[in-house]
């Protein structure tokens, strides 16, 4: 079926949504899972070995979400800071659980060398609804700007601001899913009153580098580590992934600051966005989490050795 034959069920084609359409969209969102049970409970368990603090709260009445970071004990001025973020897109499950698994398995081994700052679930409302947007139909990962309209992004910006200039590395954990093409890309086109242009979801893992600060050797080191866990996305017939030219196997670039992406917020020399593909018949949720962990470890190892 063509996109024209199946218009998005909310709004009028060609017209951006107003308040009524946003409210209609919100009324269709269903809570599928619990941030408190699946995420906060794990954070509380990790608090036995890591410093947990709150960096904000999101209020979407009747729901309220406390936002948490975890740091290694013995945070010391002068050590490079490594930021790991998960769940900037709440539906991208392995981003959240990969960040928590990394903390559980590997935080200690780096504790003497870096100041580790992890925000495992930046968008808990989206985590619970398995959605890309927040409750105002805003994509947090296009909203990392000074005047951010997304509370998720504003809170993280505020957390990072006092440390800017001291970050060595930022790894932002994401997924690219089949629902991007079936739901979220049509939804954003409808919301903005634009035509939906169908695309192809890559089958495999890839990374997004910053086109304004490219670090090809760093990205390659991460790809090599992840390739031992899960398959890397092959180029399409245009030698692209998701509409962007391939720089090296499994690596594309975006101008992250211009797009308001999360990896623009630290000013770190090394940044990368992981994109795990969870819908492949060739992978499992456990492998997806393991791929995120492998990416974070490889990124830290490279940055410390460089």
Q: Which residues bind Zn ion (CB under 5 A)?
A: 89, 92, 174
Q: Using CA atoms, how far apart are residues 259 and 205, in angstroms rounded to an integer?
A: 21
Give min distance, CB of 20 to Zn ion, in A. 28
| CA dihedral sign of residues 65, 55, 91, 186 | positive
Least distance in angstroms from the C-beta of 108 to Zn ion:
28
Residue 60 tokens read as: 């979407």
| Cβ 127 to Zn ion shortest distance, Å | 12
Q: Which residues contact 95 (CB under 8 A, 6 or more apart)?
A: 86, 87, 88, 89, 173, 174, 175, 274, 276, 292
Q: Check the CA dihedral 90-95-101-105 and report its sign.
A: negative
- As measured in angstroms, the least distance from the Cβ of 145 to Zn ion is 17
Q: Which is nearer to Zn ion, 21 or 175 (CB)?
A: 175
For every residue of 130-176, DSSP letters joined together read T-SS-TTS--GGG--STT-S-HHHHHHHHHHGGGTT-EEEEEEEEE-
Nearer to Zn ion, 174 or 191 (CB): 174
Q: Closer to Zn ion at the Cβ: 69 or 263?
A: 263
Q: Which is nearer to Zn ion, 21 or 180 (CB)?
A: 180
Q: How far is the CB of 135 from Zn ion (least distance, A)?
A: 17
Minimum CB distance to Zn ion smaller for 111 or for 121? 121
**Cβ-based nearer residue to Zn ion, 11 or 260:** 260
Nearest to 117 by CA among 148, 80, 66: 80
Q: How far is the CB of 98 from Zn ion (least distance, A)?
A: 13
In sequence order, what DSSP letters do the residues of 27-83 get, joined into one string? HT----S-HIIIIIHHHHHHTTTEEEEEEEEEEETTEEEEEEEEEESS--TTSPEEE
């Amino acid at each position: 079926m063509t996109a024209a034959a199946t218009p998005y069920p909310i709004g009028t084609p060609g017209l951006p949504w107003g308040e009524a359409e946003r409210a209609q969209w919100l009324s269709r969102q269903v809570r599928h899972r619990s941030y408190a049970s699946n995420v906060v409970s794990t954070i509380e368990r990790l608090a036995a070995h890591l410093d947990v603090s709150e960096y904000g709260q999101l209020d979407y009445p009747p729901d309220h979400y406390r936002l948490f970071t975890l740091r290694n004990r013995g945070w010391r001025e002068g050590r490079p800071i490594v930021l790991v973020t998960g769940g900037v897109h709440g539906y991208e499950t392995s981003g959240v659980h990969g960040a928590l698994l990394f903390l559980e398995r590997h935080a200690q081994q780096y504790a003497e060398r870096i100041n580790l700052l992890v925000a495992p679930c930046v968008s808990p409302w989206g985590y619970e609804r398995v959605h890309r947007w927040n409750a105002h139909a805003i994509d947090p990962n296009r909203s990392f700007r000074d005047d951010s309209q997304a509370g998720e992004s504003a809170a993280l910006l505020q957390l990072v601001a006092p440390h800017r200039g001291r970050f060595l590395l930022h790894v932002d954990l994401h997924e690219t899913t089949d629902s991007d093409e079936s739901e979220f890309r049509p939804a954003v086109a409808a919301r903005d009153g634009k035509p939906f242009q169908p695309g192809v979801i890559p089958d495999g893992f890839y990374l997004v580098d910053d086109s304004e600060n490219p670090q090809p050797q760093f990205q390659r080191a991460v790809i090599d580590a992840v390739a031992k866990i899960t398959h890397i996305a092959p180029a399409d017939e245009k030698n692209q992934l998701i509409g962007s030219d391939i720089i090296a196997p499994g690596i594309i670039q975006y101008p992250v600051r211009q797009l308001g992406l999360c990896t623009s917020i630290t000013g770190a020399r090394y940044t990368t966005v992981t994109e795990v593909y969870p819908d492949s018949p060739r992978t499992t949720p456990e492998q997806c989490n393991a791929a995120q962990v492998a990416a974070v470890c490889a990124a830290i190892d490279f940055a410390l050795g460089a």
